[in-house]
Amino acid sequence: MTKLWQKTISVDQLVESFTVGRDREFDEQMAAFDVLGSLAHTKMLASVGLLDNADLAIVQQELKKLYAEIQTGNFKIEAEVEDIHSQVELLLTRRIGEAGKKIHSGRSRNDQVLVDLKLFFRHELQEVVASVQQLFDLLISLSEKHRDVLLPGYTHLQIAMPSSFGLWFGAYAESLVDDLEMVLAAYHITNKNPLGSAAGYGSSFPLNRTLTTELLGFESLNYNVVYAQMGRGKTERVIAQALSSIAATLAKMAMDQCLYLSQNFAFVSYPENLTTGSSIMPHKKNPDVWEIMRGRCNRLQALPTDVAMMTTNLPSGYHRELQLLKELLFPAFADIKNCLHMARFMLEHIEVKQNILDDAKYAYLFSVEEVNRLVLSGTPFRDAYKQVGLAIEKGEFNPDKTVNHTHEGSIGNLGNDKIAAGMEKIVGQFHFEKVDQAISNLVK
């Protein structure tokens, strides 16, 4: 296996297999980002006199060709090559000769993998934000469409007070706004350049770290080279918290869907081709999509703990088990994006039941409404509460089933415009356009 660090002695095959593990599998997902890092790094090397203009031109040209190959899926880490960094350097050396051997000056695999990971995470977070936005827009649309359709609200799984589909859909929309606050924090921490920290202690070369920060579109850089390395694991933990926050919202929504689709509730329905059946019960319409989503998202909520257990009590500096974080984070991004996509797909086909509260079993939902009406007519609250309670005990409770909630965020005043404005404000703080422009400039 080709290694950047190997000198004369070959590592035992069993040791090699155990230590490399699944790293190559996940490294292929970072291929484009490894090339981007090298494009920026080699420009910087030329700017400080460590690469002449002729070598820079040929290296840049070949790196851009390689980037295009990766984008079209025409790339694979060869079986005998250890990682993505080795593969890129190997291909350059094969294709352009000596110039390919010069690109590693001033960096270590430590900061190389760090910058690859940060570019990968930044890209994945951008895709997550886009998926959250799409689901958010649909939830706001459904909230407006069904704003006047009432359904029971519950506390302790007991009927409590009138709610509405407008409130229900809108609640999950606003939850996603808060989730993106977590994602924004993770994005800010991710969007800092570690390149130039080398093995974690800097370099005697006169590197221009500000230049690579600008070329790669990072918001700023990890200034302290020791902290740049310490940030590996911390970045993953913060991202895990953000993903788990979105997962918690989706898991709760999935649980509601499973309840509301059951015959005991029957508040919503879906076309038969979006549900599954039973091998012996012909009547079944099982909410398998929502159940699988609930399971996946519950598992994602454990992600921060998994990352913490992998990194707890590690001293400063690099340690090999940090590569195992890829096995946690990379599939997590795929899972959360898939769940967001499926939630949107299902909700595009949801049908809500009308006139649910006409059923006599929901009469007690209006007990608070009745108490409030008495209070508005001058009865002290405690007296009104007793009066309605006695009527319920005697079986004489016959409420007026009209609902008049007007305060902010209630049935009659959903506040969706304010919620949407909050989402727009948060998304605007990511400044994706700056990143997109920087990457476009780097590869054109």
Contact 197, 42 (CB under 8 A): no
Q: How far is CA 187 from CA 10, 50, 223, 224, 428, in A?
A: 40, 32, 17, 19, 13
Which among 352, 351, 258 has a CA at the least distance from the CA of 297?
Answer: 258
| For range 58-67, the mean pLDDT | 96
Burial class from Cβ neighbours inside 10 Å (0-12, 13-18, 19+) for residue 247 reads buried
Q: How far is CA 143 from CA 41, 138, 156, 414, in A?
A: 49, 8, 24, 9
pLDDT at 9: 58
Based on DSSP, count helices (H) and strands (E) in the chain, helices before strands: 16, 6
Question: Which one-letter DSSP state was computed for residue 11?
Answer: P
Question: d(Cα 162, Cα 85) in Å, to the nearest integer?
Answer: 59
| For range 40-58, the mean pLDDT | 96
Q: Is the pLDDT at 169 greater than 70, yes or no? A: yes
Place of tokens 């808060």: 178
pLDDT at 5: 45
Q: Is the pLDDT at 412 greater than 50, yes or no? A: yes
Place of tokens 């002695």: 9
What is the tens place of the pLDDT at every residue in 191-210?
Answer: 999 999 999 999 999 999 99
What is the tens place of the pLDDT at every residue in 119-132?
Answer: 999 999 999 999 99
Q: Which fold has domain 109-205+223-358+414-443?
A: Fumarase C; Chain A, domain 2 (1.20.200)
Token pair of 324 as six digits: 């195992």
Kindly state which CATH superfamily the domain 13-102 is placed in.
Fumarase/aspartase (N-terminal domain) (1.10.275.10)
| For range 216-239, the mean pLDDT | 95
| For range 97-111, the mean pLDDT | 92
Contact 339, 296 (CB under 8 A): yes
**Which residues of the chain are in CATH 1.20.200.10 domains?**
109-205+223-358+414-443
Residue 4 backbone dihedrals phi, psi, to 5 degrees: -70, -25
Can you say whether residue 271 is alpha, beta or left, with left for phi > 0 and alpha for psi between -120 and 50 degrees? beta
Question: d(Cα 151, Cα 158) in Å, to the nearest integer?
Answer: 13
pLDDT at 3: 53
Task: Count the neighbouring beta carbons within 10 Å of the beta carbon of residue 2.
Answer: 13
**Which residues of the chain are in CATH 1.10.275.10 domains?**
13-102
| For range 326-355, the mean pLDDT | 97
Question: d(Cα 286, Cα 274) in Å, to the nearest integer?
Answer: 9
Q: Is the pLDDT at 225 greater than 70, yes or no? A: yes
pLDDT at 318: 86
Kindly report which listed range (14-18, 126-130, 158-162, 225-229) carries the lowest average pLDDT score. Answer: 14-18
Question: d(Cα 193, Cα 171) in Å, to the nearest integer?
Answer: 37
Which among 247, 248, 239, 226 has a CA at the least distance from the CA of 325?
Answer: 239
Tell me the helix, strand and coil percentages in the chain, rounded to 5: 65, 5, 30
Token pair of 154 as six digits: 């519950």
Q: Is the pLDDT at 118 greater than 70, yes or no? A: yes
Output the average pLDDT for the chain: 92
| For range 128-153, the mean pLDDT | 97
Percent of the chain with pLDDT over 90: 78
What is the tens place of the pLDDT at every residue in 347-361?
Answer: 999 999 999 999 999
Contact 236, 186 (CB under 8 A): no
